[in-house]
Amino acid sequence: MTNRITSLFGIKYPVVQAGMIWCSGWRLASAVSNAGGLGLIGAGSMDPAVLAEHIRKCKAATLEPFGINVPLLYPDVDEIFSIIIRENVNIVFTSAGNPLKWTGFLHDKGIKVVHVVANTKAALKCSEARVDAIVAEGFEAGGHNGKEETTTMTLIPMICDAVSLPIIAAGGIATGRQMLAAIALGAEGVQIGTRFIASKESSAHLSFKQKIVDAKDGDTFLQFKRIVPVRLLKNKFSENARMLEESGASAGQIGELLGKGRARLGMFEGDMDEGELEAGQVSALIKEIKPAGEIVNEIIREYNEALERVHKVYKVRKVES
C-alpha cells in the first residue's frame, strides 16, 4: 500500500499513532514505528529536557521514522523546536495554533510538517502555510476538539474537497474497518489515539487503560465548550463539570473547577475520580490492552478483510453490469 502519506514519511502502513499528552513517550512511539506505522512522541506534557531524553531513547529503540507532536500554544515552544532540530527529528505534527507561524521555519531545517485541523477554514490556512499533510480530526476524537463539532464522516470529504494536500483522518478510528472507511472518504492515512492509549507500551496509568477497555457507548462526552472543547471519559470530575456548565457558570468559574494538573492526575497518576481522562468515542470498541505492534497488525489485517468484503461487492456489481 503506497500513497502520498506512506511516501511522505517513508513508512509501510499509513497508520499514525497520535502524539498524546501523558500517554505517548518513546516506548509507544518506537513500538508503533517498528511495526510499520508512524509513532509520535507527545511533547505537550513534557519539559524540554524530558522530551530530549525521550527522543534519544526512541532513536535507540527504532531505526524507523518517528515524529513529535507539538501543541503550538505550548509555553516552551521555541525551546522544544530547538531540541527537535538539534536531535535531527525530521517529522513534526503541530496542533492548537497557527500553522503559518512555524511551518516555513521548520521546512528550512528539513523538517516535514503536518498540522491538525477540525474545520475547512483551518485547512485552507494549512494550504497557505504549505504544510506537507493535514490531520483532519472529527468530533468523536478524544482530547481537544473543534467548536464546529463536525464528525469524521462529514469532515473528511469536506477537507478533501477544500484542499489538495494529503489528508490523515482522525477521530473515531480504532479498527481496520474504520481505516477503510476513512480511505473511502478520501483520506490517505489515519491517526489513531485512544486505541494506542490502551496498549502495553503507552505511559498511561493502568487504571486509565482499564477504564477505556471498560467503557461503553455514551461513556465519553465533549466538555468545557465555553473554554476549549475536550472529549473526556465520564467520571466524578467530569460530571461535576457538566453540572456546573449546565447551571450557566461562566468560563472563569469552570476554569477554577478545572484547575491545574487534572490531566496528569487522571491519565498518568491514575486518579479515576478527580482526574481528567481524555479519550475518544472508540473507547467503546476497545476490549483489551495489547502490545502496540499487535494493534497495528490487527488493524491492517482487519483493513484487508474489509477490503476483501468490499471487493466482493465490487465483483458482484461488475458481473451484473
**Interface residues toward a second copy, by CB under 8 A:** 1-3, 119-120, 138-140, 147-155, 157-158, 161, 171-173, 175, 177-178, 180-186, 216-218, 221-222, 226, 246-249, 280-282, 284-285, 304, 306-307, 310-311, 313-314, 316-317, 320
Q: Which CB, 63 or 313, lies closer to a second copy?
A: 313
Distance (Å, whole) CA 16 – CA 134: 12
Q: Which CB, 227 or 316, lies closer to a second copy?
A: 316
Q: Which CB, 284 or 289, lies closer to a second copy?
A: 284
CA distances from 271 to 19, 183, 268, 281 (A): 22, 37, 8, 20
Least distance from a second copy to the Cβ atom of residue 63, Å? 21
Least distance from a second copy to the Cβ atom of residue 226, Å? 8
Least distance from a second copy to the Cβ atom of residue 112, Å? 23
CA distances from 11 to 38, 64, 170, 307 (A): 7, 8, 18, 20
Find residue 234's DSSP bridge partners. Answer: none
Pairing of strands 133-137, 167-170: parallel
Least distance from a second copy to the Cβ atom of residue 129, Å? 19
Cell of 211: 477504564
Q: Which CB, 59 or 225, lies closer to a second copy?
A: 225
Q: Which CB, 105 or 314, lies closer to a second copy?
A: 314
Q: Which CB, 85 or 124, lies closer to a second copy?
A: 124
Cell of 79: 525551546
DSSP state of 18: P
Cell 458481473 sits at which residue?
319
Least distance from a second copy to the Cβ atom of residue 284, Å? 6
Cell 465555553 sits at which residue?
226
Least distance from a second copy to the Cβ atom of residue 141, Å? 10
Q: Report which of 282, 122, 143 is spatially closest to residue 222, judged by C-alpha positions.
A: 143
Cell of 64: 524507523
Dihedral angle over CA of 246, 251, 256, 261, nearest 10: 100
Q: Is 225 helix (H, G, I), strand (E, B) or coil?
A: coil
Least distance from a second copy to the Cβ atom of residue 166, Å? 14
Q: Which CB, 100 or 124, lies closer to a second copy?
A: 124
| CB 38 within 8 Å of CB 32 | yes
DSSP string, 126-147: HHHHT-SEEEEE-TTSSEE--T
